[in-house]
Structure 1
Amino acid sequence: MGYTLGVDIGTFESKGVLVEDGGRIVAQASRAHEMIVPRAGWAEHRAEENWWGDFVFITRRLIADSGIDPSKIRAVATSAIGPCMLPVDADGAPLINGVLYGVDTRAAREIEDLNAEIGADTILARCGNALTSQSVGPKILWFRRNHPDLWVRTARILTSTSYITSRLTGEYVIDHYTAANFSPLYDMARQDWCFDLSDICPPEMLPKLMWSTDIAGHVTEAAARETGLAAGTPVTCGTIDAAAEAVSVGVRGPGDMMMMYGSTIFIILLSDKPLSDPRLWHAPWLFQGQHAAMAGLATSGTLTHWFRDRFARELDRDGAFGVLAREAEASPPGARGLICLPYFSGERTPIHDSSAKGTFFGLDLTHDRGDMYRAVLEGIASATRHIADTYADAGQTPARVLAVGGGTKNRPWLQATSDLTGLDQIVCSVTTGASYGDAFLAALAVGQVKPDDIESWNPAGETIAAQEHAAYARQYPLFLQLYERTRDIMAALGHDT
């Protein structure tokens, strides 16, 4: 009997699984952590504590709980939030906190400057992606400008997954799927780094490019002592959490779409050719010859946590979401005329507006907490429909939608998303998420499974069928108009904070 181990580092929690041949989970572990928000528009993690510390905790717990011999673990794969920006010194030590993905909007000025210097059309043509808060290149430039004392000590720029892989193996690598988010430093057509568009950083600072299931290296003696893993265990290159999550539910061919319900909504749609649209993100998929078009909101699960912590403080923390879900279900579709714009951390796709603000519109004295929570869920679902409409406008529509993530347990949110987008959603039997996908990727890397084997690892489960509601047909256009008509006000408020 052989095993593979997968660990995923999320925005608020890290999870790991130990899986035996055939996909059965023999041990699970998790560890919570916080997202640091030192100021509005910033989002950070402590790389040593939250990323490596969580990895060490989880691997030790999995080995202890399962009682297996670590030498029987055939491979290890990691995914993590991304794309992130972490400068490290010559010893691999972090110089600042890890700067998170698109929810961190600190580099807005650098985006403007790079677009002016290079040209937005040139960047889109070469890199396949417009510069947005999701882009790592502007964040590197922000660090270089604002921390010149630390810049001179910087040996490499890593992301979350590459940092963990370096701690495990001593190798500095990154997968193509993650690297494509380093615009304007990645050439989409050549699938290689490019340094002729800007001098943001020297070539030696960026990790070696690999495919996600390539073996990056092997667990070192030092890493073995920390993690409890056996020295010499193969370690894959790894990838971003959303990609591993997509793998976990069987996204593997053109037309397959993953809808991930996490701290943000994140969507991946596979295609047989590259799609270039400035409203979406694009990357080579985890395997050569495949392509992906991505989209994501800035706040989703994060917004439900915010609502719970502000408006349901009297409820038991563990059971609060169940109570709120029942209250939302008692409110009719449309939340009795209440509209929520879920732009509480700006917004990513498709509007890419870091100045966008969260809004409750239409409140009157008859509304209660259930109406407001339903409006939050429908606001997220409306923003998700905006993304679905953008895919359709760009000529890409899904053949099937596979839902995954902790938010799939929130029935009114799941149903509102199907109803507003008009898309049926399949919820697979195993909902462990990205860490399960990591374990499958590890098995792929060592030839233990083939891509289609994910169907037996994680069979399809319930289908959430889309239903029509007159309230949604009436309110969705108003949702779009509300943002358009208040966008200037939102920008003005942003300038005053």
Structure 2
Amino acid sequence: MGFTLGIDIGTFESKGVLVEDGGRIVAQASCSHELIVPRPGWAEHRAEQDWWSDFVTITRGLLGDSGIDPPEIRAVATSAIGPCMLPVDRDGAPLINAVLYGVDTRAGDEIADLNQAIGEATILTRCGNALTAQSVGPKILWFRRNHPELWARTGKILSSTSYLTFKLTGEQVIDHYTAASFSPLYDIARQDWCFDLADICAPELLPKLMWSTEIAGHVQESAAAETGLAAGTPVICGTIDAAAEAVSVGVNAPGDMMMMYGSTIFIILLSDTALSDARLWHAPWLFPGQHAAMAGLATSGTLTHWFRDQFASELPRDSAFAMLTREADASPPGAKGLLCLPYFSGERTPIHDSHAKGCFFGLDLTHNRGDMYRAVLEGIAAATRHIADTYAEAGRRPARVLAVGGGTRNRPWLQATSDITGLDQIVCEVTTGASYGDAFLASLAVGSAEPGDITTWNPGARTIKAERHVAYERQYPLFLKLYEQTRDIMAALDKGR
């Protein structure tokens, strides 16, 4: 009997599991960290203190709680938020805080300049993705332009998972799924780096490309001393957290869709052919020959945390969400005609608008906190429907939807999403998330599991059935219209800041 270790670094929390062959969790642990927002439109983490320190803390906790002898661990797999941009020096030390995924919108000028220089159609054709706040290439260019003295010291540009793998093994690698977000530096047809579209960085600054379950290296002595792992333990290349989440609930066939309820809503739909649509994202999947079409909101769970902190600060922190949920349940579908645009940090798919703003519209003196919280959940659900409709317009409808993430414990949010999108959702037995998917990927890498085994590791437990509500049918078109009719005001507000 052997074990695999999976650890995932999230936006606010990191989680880890030790899993026995066959999928039984023998130990799990978590720890939290902060999202750094030094100015509007920026989002950062500290790679050493937030990512690596969490990994060390969780690993030592798992080993201590389980009593497992470290050499019994067959392989280690990591995932983390992404795509991120982390420049490190020639010794691998971070030069700045990590610039996070699409919630960080600082590189707007660089996106415009690259689109002008290369051409949007060329970028979409060559890279499979339009340039958006999710793209790493413009953020690298932003760093080069704004920190020339640090740029001169840069040895590599890493992602979050790349950094963890480097700390464990000394190897600087990246998986294809993550690399596809480095537009315009990744050629989607060749599945390789490309440098002919723009002068952003030299080839030697980018990590080695690998598939997610390839062995990147082995735990080196220094990492073993810090973590308690056995030196020489295999470490796989790993991937972004959302992909590992999808694996954890059995997304493995064309037509399977994951809906992840985390700090953001993130959606992955597998297909047997590539999808080129500027409103969505595309990447090779974790294994050769498979494709994924992705979408994501900018704020979801983050917005519920903001609402709690601003409007329920008098409640005990550990029970605030339970009280807010009860209050939202007391509000009818449609929240008495109240609309919420959930664009509190710009928006990613499908509108790709860094100037988008959040708002409550339709407030009157009859509304209470429960109505407002319900409007937040329904606003996120309406933005999720906007994504689902975009998939349908692009010719991609899901055969089944699997829900995962901490937000699946929020019953009114989960139900509103099914009701507004019209999609039934399957919630699996194990809701641990990405770290569990990491452990499964590690098992695949060392041959102790086959791809289809995930259905026995984590079977479906319940289905959220979509219900019809007249209020939603009336209000969803108004939700879309509210954004369209205020987008110029949103942009003007940014100009005045």
TM-score range, shorter chain: over 0.9
Unpaired runs of 5+ residues, structure 2, are none
1:283: how far off?
Answer: 0.1
Instruction: Report what 1:91 is aligned to.
Output: 91
Distance (Å, rounded) in 2 between the aligned partners of 1:317 and 1:401: 32
Q: Does 1:496 align with 2:496?
A: yes
RMSD of aligned alpha carbons: 0.3
1:59-102: CA deviation from partner (whole Å, max 9, x where unpaired): 11100110110000000000000000000000000000000000
Instruction: Report what 1:292 is aligned to.
Output: 292
Q: Does 1:470 align with 2:470?
A: yes
The residue identity in structure 2 corresponding to 1:241 is: D
Instruction: Report what 1:277 is aligned to.
Output: 277
Instruction: Report what 1:134 is aligned to.
Output: 134
Q: Does 1:432 align with 2:413?
A: no
Instruction: Report what 2:43 is aligned to.
Output: 43
The residue identity in structure 2 corresponding to 1:358 is: G
Percent identical among aligned pairs is 81
Q: Secondary structure at the match of 2:62?
A: helix
5 Å-filtered alignment, 1:258-337, equals: 258-337=258-337
1:298-330: CA deviation from partner (whole Å, max 9, x where unpaired): 000000000000000111111111110110010
Distance (Å, rounded) in 1 between the aligned partners of 2:71 and 2:61: 16
Instruction: Report what 1:162 is aligned to.
Output: 162
5 Å-filtered alignment, 1:82-481, equals: 82-481=82-481
1:177-210: CA deviation from partner (whole Å, max 9, x where unpaired): 0000000000000000000001100000000000
Distance (Å, rounded) in 2 between the aligned partners of 1:430 and 1:467: 25
Distance (Å, rounded) in 2 between the aligned partners of 1:495 and 1:58: 43
1:23: how far off?
Answer: 0.5
1:363-399: CA deviation from partner (whole Å, max 9, x where unpaired): 0011000000000000000000000000000000000
5 Å-filtered alignment, 1:43-62, equals: 43-62=43-62
Q: Secondary structure at the match of 1:224?
A: helix
Distance (Å, rounded) in 2 between the aligned partners of 1:237 and 1:9: 15
1:30: how far off?
Answer: 0.4
Q: Secondary structure at the match of 1:181?
A: helix
Distance (Å, rounded) in 1 between the aligned partners of 2:237 and 2:412: 37
Distance (Å, rounded) in 2 between the aligned partners of 1:319 and 1:443: 37
The residue identity in structure 2 corresponding to 1:218 is: H
Distance (Å, rounded) in 1 between the aligned partners of 2:256 and 2:344: 29
The residue identity in structure 1 corresponding to 2:112 is: E
Distance (Å, rounded) in 2 between the aligned partners of 1:28 and 1:186: 36
1:200-239: CA deviation from partner (whole Å, max 9, x where unpaired): 0000000000000000000001110011000000000000
- Give aligned pairs, total: 497
The residue identity in structure 2 corresponding to 1:443 is: S
Distance (Å, rounded) in 1 between the aligned partners of 2:496 and 2:50: 33
Distance (Å, rounded) in 2 between the aligned partners of 1:75 and 1:494: 48
Q: Secondary structure at the match of 2:184?
A: coil
1:496: how far off?
Answer: 1.0
Instruction: Report what 1:75 is aligned to.
Output: 75
Distance (Å, rounded) in 2 between the aligned partners of 1:448 and 1:297: 36
Q: Secondary structure at the match of 1:283?
A: strand
1:347-366: CA deviation from partner (whole Å, max 9, x where unpaired): 00000000000010000011
Distance (Å, rounded) in 1 between the aligned partners of 2:404 and 2:100: 22
Q: Secondary structure at the match of 2:182?
A: coil
Distance (Å, rounded) in 2 between the aligned partners of 1:369 and 1:401: 31
The residue identity in structure 1 corresponding to 2:83 is: P
Distance (Å, rounded) in 1 between the aligned partners of 2:52 and 2:316: 31
1:34: how far off?
Answer: 0.4
Structure 1 consecutive aligned stretches of length 4 or more whose deviation exceeds 4 Å: none
Q: Secondary structure at the match of 2:181?
A: coil
Q: Secondary structure at the match of 1:463?
A: strand
Q: TM-score, normalised by structure 1?
A: 1.00
Distance (Å, rounded) in 2 between the aligned partners of 1:365 and 1:81: 40
1:163: how far off?
Answer: 0.4
Instruction: Report what 1:13 is aligned to.
Output: 13
Distance (Å, rounded) in 2 between the aligned partners of 1:85 and 1:475: 38
The residue identity in structure 1 corresponding to 2:434 is: A
Instruction: Report what 1:34 is aligned to.
Output: 34
1:21: how far off?
Answer: 1.0
Distance (Å, rounded) in 1 between the aligned partners of 2:314 and 2:168: 43
